[in-house]
Amino acid sequence: MSQKIFVGMSGGVDSSLAAALLKRQGYDVTGVFMKNWTRDLPGFVCGWETDYKDAKTVAVQLDIPLLTLDFERQYRSKVVDYMLEGYKRGLTPNPDIMCNQEVKFKLFLDTSLSMGADLIATGHYARVTNAQLLTASDESKDQSYFLYRISNTALKSTLFPLGGMKKTQVRIEADKLGLATANKPDSQGICFVGEVGIKQFILSELGPQPAGDIIDQNGQKVGSHDGAIFYTVGQRHGLNVGGGLPFYVTHKDMKHNRVYVTTDLNDPKLWSKHIKLTLTHWINDPPKPNADYLVKCRYRSAPNKCRVRIKSDTAELELYEEVRAVTPGQSAVIYDQDICLGGGIIQSAV
């Protein structure tokens, strides 16, 4: 009797092909569409219905059942509220990471297993070996950064069928199979909410924010902002400070509602070698003291060599080279070659 596997199907090409590959490998496949966000925003129509129709079309093509699991209430409390609270505190949180931790690899996993599934699968670009999370073969699409907070227990019950494939291969294979989503563009924007800008989303949820001053590296006011909540470390565009050299955000003072900027790319406030992490999570064994590892301080950043000192659920990273625009609220993820060990939320950096 073949193993029963529930595949998270978002209506995109990646999860569609994941389901197709697993069926071809002999699994008893059930597609699952997670309904996590359905509310329209001002000037923006949520695309969940289109995504559901696309997932349903592919399920029919593959001759597999498609279930719908409604996690909207939990998504709101575990992901959206977490994100908004972080922004209000002056942080730049990552909702995709929290969605993976709380929804896809907790709620979806637990619900699937309770409904008789042996395993779950998603279209993420990552690999699993012996309950270890490994980077994807296609480094340009690797998503292990977003998965670092899932547990080894979850990994024991999870498959990532696309982990050894390149994105171009996925498109070609989906097209060969005639999948309806083969040429569907990749989704952008906020996880499950859709292609809406973060500023627009915050405005719709929290309303207009108080204006304040933009201060340069010399302590001079050079402009005004429409809410410090909207700005992030390293940001260049959208500052509305005209003329001369471009400005970059170095830090924010939420108490006094100020945004600090610099025109000097070598400004020490933009560069860090020491990073403090909070809410650390290690998938299996934590990093060893006095050993060298690699760290990624944001999804698209190049990995940097570091050492890790662990203190309970916090950690301190000492980088071998300075990194620009390390952002509180984002995640620093630690790797031992191609093994993702875990990481934590960036608390501060100097």
Can you read off the two tokens belonging to residue 169?
A: 């291969």
Give the burial class of 311: count Cβ atoms within 10 A of its Cβ; 0-12 exposed, 13-18 middle, 19 or more buried. Answer: exposed
160 closest CA partner among 173, 177, 176, 143: 143
| Cα separations in angstroms, 132 against 14, 103, 204, 303 | 22, 20, 39, 19
Higher pLDDT, 271 or 43: 271
Instruction: Please say if the pLDDT value at position 24 is more than 70.
Output: yes
pLDDT single digits (tens) 138-163: 999 999 999 999 999 999 999 999 99
CATH of the domain at 345: 2.40.30.10
pLDDT at 190: 59
46 is catalytic: no
Instruction: Please say if the pLDDT value at position 187 is more than 90.
Output: no
* 117 Cα distance to chain centroid: 26
pLDDT single digits (tens) 241-262: 876 789 999 999 999 999 999 9
**Number of folded domains that form the chain:** 3
Instruction: Please say if the pLDDT value at position 271 is more than 70.
Output: yes
Question: Out of 46, 99, 297, 340, which one is annotated catalytic?
Answer: 99
CATH of the domain at 130: 3.40.50.620
In a domain, residue 191? The reply is no
Instruction: Please say if the pLDDT value at position 88 is more than 90.
Output: yes
Question: Out of 46, 191, 306, 340, which one is annotated catalytic?
Answer: 191
Confidence of residue 38 (pLDDT cuts 50, 70, 90): confident
For the chain, how many helices (H) and strands (E)?
10, 17
Q: How far apart are CA 70 and CA 62, in angstroms?
A: 23
In a domain, residue 230? The reply is yes
340 is catalytic: no
Give the end of a domain, one of 225, 244, 262: 262
In a domain, residue 45? The reply is yes
In a domain, residue 181? The reply is no
Pair 255, 274 in one domain: no
Of 40-49, 69-78, 225-234, 244-253, the least confident: 40-49
Confidence of residue 185 (pLDDT cuts 50, 70, 90): confident
Give the end of a domain, one of 157, 176, 195: 176
Pair 31, 101 in one domain: yes
Pair 36, 134 in one domain: yes
Pair 231, 109 in one domain: no
pLDDT at 275: 98
Pair 120, 222 in one domain: no
Pair 38, 116 in one domain: yes
pLDDT at 78: 94
For the chain, give the percent of residues with pLDDT over 90: 85
Pair 275, 256 in one domain: no
Confidence of residue 188 (pLDDT cuts 50, 70, 90): low
159 contacts: CB under 8 Å, gap ≥ 6 = 5, 22, 119, 120, 121, 128
Pair 246, 297 in one domain: no
In a domain, residue 183? The reply is no
Of 211-215, 249-253, 299-303, the least confident: 299-303
Pair 309, 274 in one domain: yes
In a domain, residue 193? The reply is no
In a domain, residue 144? The reply is yes
Pair 145, 223 in one domain: no
pLDDT at 140: 92
CATH of the domain at 219: 2.30.30.280
Q: Which domain holds residue 215?
A: 209-262
Higher pLDDT, 196 or 95: 95
pLDDT at 291: 97
Give the E-state strand segments of the chain in sequence order. 4-8, 28-35, 66-70, 119-121, 127-129, 132-134, 158-159, 212-215, 221-225, 248-253, 258-262, 271-282, 293-296, 304-311, 314-324, 331-336, 339-349
Task: Please report, to the nearest 10 degrees, the dihedral formed by the alpha carbons of residues 59, 60, 63, 65 taken in order.
Answer: 50
Give the end of a domain, one of 176, 199, 230: 176
Pair 277, 157 in one domain: no
pLDDT single digits (tens) 90-112: 999 999 999 999 999 999 999 99
Higher pLDDT, 37 or 278: 278
In a domain, residue 196? The reply is no
Q: DSSP letter string over 249-290?
A: EEEEETTTTEEEEES-TT-GGGEEEEEEEEEEEESSSPPPTT
Pair 8, 153 in one domain: yes
